[in-house]
Amino acid sequence: MRSSVVARSMYAASVTIYASSLGMQPAAAQTFEDLKQSRSPLVLKAQGSFYIGGNTVAMSQTEAGGYGVFAGGNVTVGQMYVQYMVPAVNRLRVPVVMVHGGTLSGKGYETQPDGRMGWAEYFVRKNFPVYVPDQVSRGRSGFNHVAFNKVREGSAPPSSQPLITRLSDEAAWSLFRFGPAFGVPYRDEKFPTHAVKEFGKQGIPDINAGLTPSDATPRGLSELAKKVRGAVIIGHSQSGLFPLQTALIAAKWTKGLVVMEPGSCDGFTDDQIKELAKVPILTVFGDHLDTPGSVVNWVGAYNSCKAFVKRINAARGEATMLYPPELGIRGNSHMLMNDKNSDQIADLIIKWIDKKVEKRH
Amino acid sequence: MRSSVVARSMYAASVTIYASSLGMQPAAAQTFEDLKQSRSPLVLKAQGSFYIGGNTVAMSQTEAGGYGVFAGGNVTVGQMYVQYMVPAVNRLRVPVVMVHGGTLSGKGYETQPDGRMGWAEYFVRKNFPVYVPDQVSRGRSGFNHVAFNKVREGSAPPSSQPLITRLSDEAAWSLFRFGPAFGVPYRDEKFPTHAVKEFGKQGIPDINAGLTPSDATPRGLSELAKKVRGAVIIGHSQSGLFPLQTALIAAKWTKGLVVMEPGSCDGFTDDQIKELAKVPILTVFGDHLDTPGSVVNWVGAYNSCKAFVKRINAARGEATMLYPPELGIRGNSHMLMNDKNSDQIADLIIKWIDKKVEKRH
């Protein structure tokens, strides 16, 4: 057999297990050899990708950024890239759409920073068809770059150009609640902080500030939900409220809404609450909400979502708060899908889907 | 069974086949329902993604684009996103790395514009482990955005900002040789021109003009080739010469170089030719090289690569030109991996790998 990454990962995985059993710290950031291999093969009925939406705009040669004699012309912008995997099982469960947060991409649901299987594959192995988009204006969805080229050629002022954002390692540490001070993890911290450099590589430029319309991704998600004839939508952080926004566009096609750690659940009108009450909703928050230095007030965010859950239930909806510390599960970070117990968190969400979306009792 | 995209794709696929058998044109651009499903499941030993390389740079708050009280700090740039699939077979073949061209991303090797299986899955089904990167500065690899934010805040002149490029539908038509005039396909055109709008959605901003170092992707590819202990590198168009550049960095780990439709094969020194002669090389060009309106002189590109093949062979290397018209295969476009006979082109490349790389006679 040819030497392959897989053979070597198996070897590396056993080394890691050995090291852990001695209470040793893994050797800093993830190396390629850390990629963990599953014990059983992944059997897919289908996998691939497609684009949702997008519209054609006419660009001048300079706007398009044409070099040489490339002419401008019609260019597609606003499209949303979606990857998918459908397991080869007779009884498929409800499709699940997983949306990433700020400065990140759909990569966040693939292989984890420490090499473990991401939620996309985990859910597929639990018989869910899984759809992972890149938010419109991020990653493989691309972005409308015209404002930048206009500034470059001098036909628009520099201030007209959208701000592009990245989160520094230091800012991420407190915002994502990896520990009480930069480089210091909580004693019970569930984020694999030894792989935090690898996590930093998942960061890419966030150009949402220039997005037109600003709700392009929820619109794309509503189209996606319709196309798959109903889906559970999972949002996180920057996209935490996207499931709710998607339901407000297409309640009929949203079968369940998983709202993970948005900055707030405030601001919905009574009419919107009435509409949202038609769909089962799960809000999810990790631990250490009072981490010092975080620019988001996570205690406030949690309380606002608790109040939101009450409003939905008062409107005869079915909303639940999943707060792992209440179940004795401590130390989860903001990055619940990357925490060392990410499978456990996934299982809690799947249990909720069982009960509230698929009504398996 | 739950209704799912797959069930509906099967339905749509049979409709398409029916329409074709009547000589009818498919109904314009790809719809989601056009996604074709394979007859047999895809069985993977492993799949996922990881990043290669990347380095940490210190950014000020404004450079990082921090809003509110987000501080600047260390941010990773220059990393290369790589997706992979490893088939679950006992006898894996040589790993294959597929690199996309300008204004495109790794998506180009996934599901095709008309819904057919892309080369990534096709090669996996032929027992190759497949690695698909996004070029450094594109898609999920992200890019270094600091120059843009500096211009926005007024600390650098607009002209210091890299030009961002997209190819218009009109420019792509002639450059990619879909036909003699915009909207008019060649009679024997192999590109599925009915799906050209869907192909346009694969276009995303190309910021290679701001890439430092400019050969960041070949460097990443050489690291990738080493990590998988040797790989065949396939490059196309903008990345057409990347396999050669990768070999010049790490000849030991490049098992085969597939050079598809670069703009030119000129410019290598005799020493470089000597180094490249250590690795089997296949150059590939499609048909209709004299398409009017193309800003690239494809006839010139083809001739320069013919001359390059001669130079390699004169240096006792093993270079071959694959020019399908010589085999009676007519009408291939620049986008060989998306042409209607993309499987046939893949098979010709696999046959070459058999013979020259894996020495199966």
The CB density around residue A159, as the number of other CB atoms within 10 Å, is: 11
- Around Cβ B361, how many Cβ atoms within 10 Å? 5
Give me the helices (H) in B162-279, please: 169-175, 196-201, 216-227, 242-250, 270-276
State residue B172's pLDDT score. Answer: 94
pLDDT band of residue A7 (cuts 50, 70, 90) is very low
This model of the complex carries an ipTM of 0.91
The pLDDT of residue A288 is above 90: yes
**By the CB < 8 Å criterion, does B253 face chain A?**
no
Other beta carbons within 10 Å of B317: 18
Contact criterion met (CB < 8 Å) for A201 and B54: yes
**Closest Cα to residue B246, out of B235, B260, B236, B237?**
B235
A76-123 pLDDT per residue, tens: 999 999 999 999 999 999 999 999 999 999 999 999 999 999 999 999
Is residue B193 predicted with pLDDT exceeding 90?
yes
Q: Is A311 helix (H, G, I), strand (E, B) or coil?
A: helix
Q: Across the interface, do B161 and A148 touch by the CB < 8 Å criterion?
A: yes
The more confidently predicted of residues A239 and A26 is: A239
Average pLDDT rounded to a whole number, residues B339-360: 96
The helix (H) or strand (E) run that includes residue B74 is strand B73-87
Residue B56: Cβ-neighbour burial (10 angstroms; 0-12, 13-18, 19+): middle
Tell me how long chain B is. Answer: 361
Candidate from A23-27, A301-305, B184-188, B203-207 with smallest mean pLDDT: A23-27
Q: Say whether residue B28 is in contact with chain A using an 8 A CB cutoff.
A: no
User: Cβ B227–A5 below 8 Å, yes or no?
Assistant: yes
The average confidence (pLDDT) of chain B is 90
Residue of B nearest to A198 (CA): B51
B47:A42 CB<8 A: yes
CB-CB neighbours of A70 under 10 Å: 19
Q: Which two tokens stand for residue B91?
A: 């006898």
CA B205, B206, B209, B215 dihedral sign is: positive
pLDDT of B28 above 60:
no
Q: Which chain B residue lies closest to A144 (C-alpha atoms)?
A: B205
The answer to whether the CB atoms of B32 and A44 lie below 8 A apart is no
- DSSP class of residue B299 equals H
Provide the b/e sequence for B41-55 (b: ≥16 CB within 10 Å).
Answer: bbebbbbbbbbbbbe
Q: Is B114's Cβ below 8 Å from some Cβ in A?
A: no
> Within its chain, how far is the Cα of A305 from the centroid?
18
Contact list in B for residue A94 (CB cut-off 8 A) is: 2
Token pair for B165: 């490029």
8 A C-beta contact, residue A37 and residue B46? yes
Contact B83, B131 (CB under 8 A): yes
Q: Would you state the pLDDT for residue B29?
A: 36
E-strand stretches of chain A: 42-59, 73-87, 96-98, 130-133, 231-236, 254-260, 281-284, 319-322
In whole angstroms, give the CA distance from residue B358 to residue B296.
34
Residue A265: CA count within 13 A, CB half-sphere: 32
Quote the CA–CA distance of A112 and A341 in Å, as a whole number. 12
Mean pLDDT for B89-110 is 97
Cβ of B1 under 8 Å from any chain A Cβ?
yes
Residue B62 binned pLDDT confidence (cut-offs 50, 70, 90): confident
The length of chain A in residues reads 361
SS (H, E, C) B229-257: CCEEEEEEHHHCCHHHHHHHHHHHHEEEE
More confident residue, A171 or B70: A171
**A313-326 burial string, b = 16+ CB within 10 Å, else e?**
eebebbbbbbbbee
What was the pLDDT predicted at B338? 98
Residue A236, strand partner residues:
A260
Residue A329 in contact with residue A291, Cβ under 8 Å?
no
Dihedral angle of Cα A151, A156, A158, A161, to the nearest 10 degrees: -80
Whole-number Cα distances in Å, B264 to B128, B129, B299, B325: 29, 29, 10, 20
End-to-end CA distance of chain B: 47
Query: Which A residues in the span 315-354 are in contact with B, Cβ-Cβ below 8 Å?
Result: none
Read off the tokens for A296: 């988001």
Is A88–B121 a contact, with Cβ atoms under 8 angstroms apart? no
In the predicted structure, residue A159 carries a pLDDT above the cut 60: yes
Contact residues on chain A for B216, CB-CB shorter than 8 A? none
3-state helix, strand, coil in chain B (%, to 5): 40, 20, 45
State how far the alpha carbon of B187 is from the alpha carbons of A123, B173, B177, in Å: 46, 15, 12
Contact status of A116 with chain B (Cβ, < 8 Å)? no
Interface test with B, best of A43, A168, A253 (most B CBs within 10 A): A168
Query: Greater confidence, A67 or A165?
Result: A165
Q: Rounded to an integer, what distance in angstroms lies between the CA atom of residue A268 and that of residue B256?
A: 58
Half-sphere exposure (Cβ direction) of B254: Cα atoms closer than 13 Å: 32
Could you tell me the maximum CA-CA distance found in chain B, to the nearest angstrom? Answer: 65
In sign, the C-alpha dihedral spanning A128, A339, A51, A249 is positive
A79 and B201 in contact by Cβ < 8 A?
A: yes
> Tens digit of pLDDT for each residue in A202-234?
999 999 988 989 999 999 999 999 999 999 999
pLDDT at B66: 73
| A42: nearest Cα among B5, B41, B96, B173 | B41
Question: Is pLDDT at A59 greater than 60 in this prediction?
Answer: yes
Report how far residue A361's alpha carbon sits from residue B243's, in angstroms, rounded to the nearest whole number. 56
| Contact residues, chain B, for A30 at CB < 8 Å | 50
pLDDT exceeds 60 at position A19 = no
Q: What band does A63 get if pLDDT is binned at 50, 70 and 90?
A: confident
Q: Which helix (H) or strand (E) holds B284?
A: strand B281-284
pLDDT at residue B35, as a whole number? 72
DSSP one-letter string for A293-309:
T-SS-HHHHHHHHHHHH
Angle, helices B216-227/B242-250, rounded to nearest 10 degrees:
60
Q: What is the three-class DSSP state of A21? A: helix
Q: How far is B326 from chain A (nearest CA, A)?
A: 30
End-to-end CA distance of chain A: 47
Chain A residues within an 8 Å CB radius of B202:
51
Q: What is the DSSP string of A158-173?
A: GGGSPP-B---HHHHH
pLDDT in tens, B220-246: 999 999 999 999 999 999 999 999 999
CB contact under 8 A, A6 and B74: no
The answer to whether B3 contacts A41, with C-beta atoms less than 8 Å apart, is no
A29 vs A134, more confident:
A134
Helix %, strand %, coil % for chain A, to 5? 40, 20, 45
Cα nearest neighbour of B87 on chain A: A41
Q: How far is the C-alpha of A283 from the C-alpha of A265, rounded, in Å? A: 9
CA closest to B159 among chain A residues = A152
Q: Which residues contact A80 (CB under 8 A, 6 or more apart)?
A: A51, A52, A53, A54, A133, A134, A135, A136, A141, A216, A217, A220, A221, A224
